[in-house]
A and B are shown apart, each in its own frame.
Chain A
């Protein structure tokens, strides 16, 4: 599947790479290090499509049946 189709697929929520600064903010907000974040592997199709690298923090914006929209964060780890 090509990049565009993949990222625009209705079952694929929005994935964004957070800037170093924003990532730090998130970690500070929850009082954690990257180790405590949920993970996503470098070989994940979305990660490849958005050109994220190991150590990047990804912000995922999903539709939620209870909250409308919800944010989720994952750190990219080697496959």
Chain B
């Protein structure tokens, strides 16, 4: 490959001579085709500007439709016009320089002085401009400076008098070359080029006409615009030579300016957009480039791709987290190319022969010709097939596919799964792998991409495989498994959970185990015994448990004590991580799969559901709850009274009002935490809601408290409610009471129901947090995108240096310690003690 380095790219104004030089033709006729449908000479599709119709030859390069790159033309404007892109700059120049001699209206000393200051470029120019525009007299030629006005986008007035582009051009021509630098214009430019006297006409290839089905030709928006522009240009020329009165000339001139402006930018503010007869705005140069659908974001940065599919996702715990259920309909459309060799030719023929699913859709000859397989040409193709051909066969079980959910924020947003063809129209995934994708099943859609070369298939399967991505590259924590699996594990491993022999066999069968745990035949088995069958024997570990007093203790793969929960399984789970360490990620993946199937089955056996009754407080507890709320409310009221009487001691650096608010909020959040303790104390640990909360499967104590005890303080913008009516939130309240309940403290639970006022207060809180969520995701998303774009080309090389795409060294030792955080264990980094123990154990 030839490598060339771009030294620099410089942008500058294009001068009229260059425009004429690069032009293949001067366009004069405001028309396209003659009656015979042949491009008119000197018209907008003149063959000198390139060919878009098959069969014709370019008159400039001799090329045909696909070989001629297209060539610029030009239009000589009868009168000069302003270039919209420079409206503001022209205004600045007019204000900064003398209308007579063209010099900056500051003394040379003054300019030198400003040049010495640290601000350079545009900032320096702004300083000069701001000083110069106030001058009423030119210090060089003593000429009086009149006030210039800018009427966006392209008009200027001087003391109320219209300044015409030709006059402006003359003024800009007078600016001496040595004054350009302080005006922030580089040497290769001349300011008068900001006024157009000649307009480049884009090549025909950039604005091809399309032939509709009806046979009519439809022209590009740019061509339409250029026709209008040429017409006005011609009319202006005619009127000028006929010596038409000034007002008519002026009107036509303005019209020419309008067309040139909208030719470049049809979304210029201040002038109406040029429209089609249908009322749709024309898409001119600016609109082609700008925005999401524009050339940059729409065609260069992002493209549509073939061999991809998209559908709604739904959960299926029976497939592996490393698989993806592909709808049959999709699999029939998506193909994998298969290079025919001596070895696989029979298999290839079989695919062509097949009437149903895994069959071949296309055969590609070595010449590159692609033939669709039909009932009729099938036999012929089989006859013809020989090594060197390519057969495009349908996607089948086991093919690696790349699976993705947007927004693709991290590596795990795109992982390779093995396809599993299934009936139905949705894409199926195991919900144990939903977390890294941040997917749920409320209508989420996801994309699949089918790698098309052997290299791509192997690469996807090795680097993007789900099991390779189970450990977070951030800190090496496990990412997969959650919710029902955690609940199920917690239920199963709670002390005293037992299963009959029959149930045990059924559960273990789900994990592919066909024999009972232990040697002896028992009547009943504990959940711990069953789960222990799934844990590899090499596992020795100790860990926390939220659900049991005892720690989780696993010896030789047998659970000795403790109830398993989020600490052991699911995102951040230590047991899964341990298995990944000891037995490899593939085994960890298998563990998650099996745990998923077994726990879901167990939950279905035992049943796990919640009901309103689960959240009812018994009489005694309810009394206690009321006491807690009353006590804190009274304390808050005391503070409010003190505040009203001016006795409240303000916190340092806070006003009395702020102090009161802080104190009351403190009291209210104390209610929350005391109610939490109360709920945890009073609820049966077997309460399904409590199991889910404590095990970390779903929900938190706040949900429990809000359902059973009290909603707590409603807040907007982090403060107690204060907006609404004067001195109160709703017209049904007394003014200025400041009392907890009037300011949004809700002592009722969801179970009890809310009063109308409480409902509004809760709605205020709800709306605020919804808005907040929206703003936060937007802001953090943009911040993330900027960070990701800045780092996108950085790469850790073999020598562990971090380098940019241009081989610049960013860091000499990756992370300074050359250690990939994926291989570390949280705060411990690398657990040397554990490695040592393991080695010693192996020695014995």
A residues near B, CB below 8 A? 30, 32, 36-38, 64-67, 70-73
Contacts and interface: CB of A to CB of B under 8 A. Distances in A.
Given A30-B799, A30-B801, A64 B816 contact: yes
A70 B813 contact: yes
A64 B817 contact: yes
State the majority secondary structure of interface residues on B.
Answer: loop
B812 interface: yes
A23 to B, nearest CB: 14
29 contacts: A30-B799, A30-B801, A30-B809, A30-B812, A32-B807, A32-B809, A36-B807, A36-B808, A37-B809, A38-B808, A38-B809, A38-B810, A64-B816, A64-B817, A65-B816, A66-B815, A66-B816, A66-B817, A66-B819, A66-B829, A67-B816, A67-B817, A67-B818, A70-B813, A70-B816, A71-B812, A71-B813, A72-B812, A73-B812
A12 to B, nearest CB: 18
Contacts of A37: 809
Contacts of B801: 30
A64 B819 CA distance: 13
A73 B819 CA distance: 20
7 nearest A-B residue pairs (beta carbon): A67-B817, A66-B817, A64-B816, A67-B816, A70-B816, A66-B816, A36-B807
Contacts of B816: 64-67, 70
B564 to A, nearest CB: 33
B817 A36 contact: no
Interface in B800-827: 801, 803, 807-810, 812-813, 815-819
Given A36-B808, A66-B816, 9 more contacts: A30-B809, A30-B812, A36-B803, A36-B807, A36-B809, A37-B809, A38-B810, A64-B817, A66-B815
Nearest to A60: B812
A14 B799 CA distance: 24
A78 to B, nearest CB: 16
A30 B801 CA distance: 8
A57 to B, nearest CB: 12
A44 to B, nearest CB: 17
Contacts of A30: 799, 801, 809, 812
A66 B816 CA distance: 6
Contacts of B803: 36
Contacts of B809: 30, 32, 36-38, 73
A38 B818 CA distance: 19
A16 B506 CA distance: 71
A55 to B, nearest CB: 17
A35 to B, nearest CB: 8
A34 to B, nearest CB: 11
Interface in B342-368: none
A65 B819 CA distance: 13
A2 B814 CA distance: 34
Nearest to A62: B816
A71 B818 CA distance: 13
A38 B806 CA distance: 12
Contacts of B817: 64, 66-67
Contacts of B812: 30, 70-73
Contacts of A67: 813, 816-818
A36 B799 CA distance: 15
Contacts of A36: 803, 807-809
Nearest to B812: A72
A43 B171 CA distance: 42
Interface in B627-682: none
A72 B809 CA distance: 10
Contacts of A71: 812-813
A33 to B, nearest CB: 10
Nearest to A65: B816
A73 B813 CA distance: 11
A67 B812 CA distance: 12
A37 B801 CA distance: 11
Interface string B781-809: 00000000000000000010101000111
Nearest to A37: B809
A38 B799 CA distance: 17
Q: Point out which of B812, B819, B829 has the most chain A C-beta atoms below 10 A from its C-beta.
A: B812
Contacts of A72: 812
A25 to B, nearest CB: 13
A67 B830 CA distance: 12
Contacts of A73: 809, 812
A58 B402 CA distance: 46
A37 B817 CA distance: 19
Contacts of A70: 812-813, 816
Nearest to A70: B816
A19 to B, nearest CB: 19
A37 B812 CA distance: 10
B488 to A, nearest CB: 39
Contacts of B810: 38
A76 B50 CA distance: 52
A38 B812 CA distance: 10
Contacts of A66: 815-817, 819, 829
A64 B817 CA distance: 9
A64 B810 CA distance: 16
A65 B809 CA distance: 21
Interface in B600-622: none
Nearest to B804: A36
B279 to A, nearest CB: 56
A36 B803 CA distance: 9
B800 to A, nearest CB: 11
A22 B808 CA distance: 20
Q: Point out which of B801, B807, B809, B816 has the most chain A C-beta atoms below 10 A from its C-beta.
A: B816
A72 B814 CA distance: 11
A72 B807 CA distance: 16
Interface string B10-27: 000000000000000000
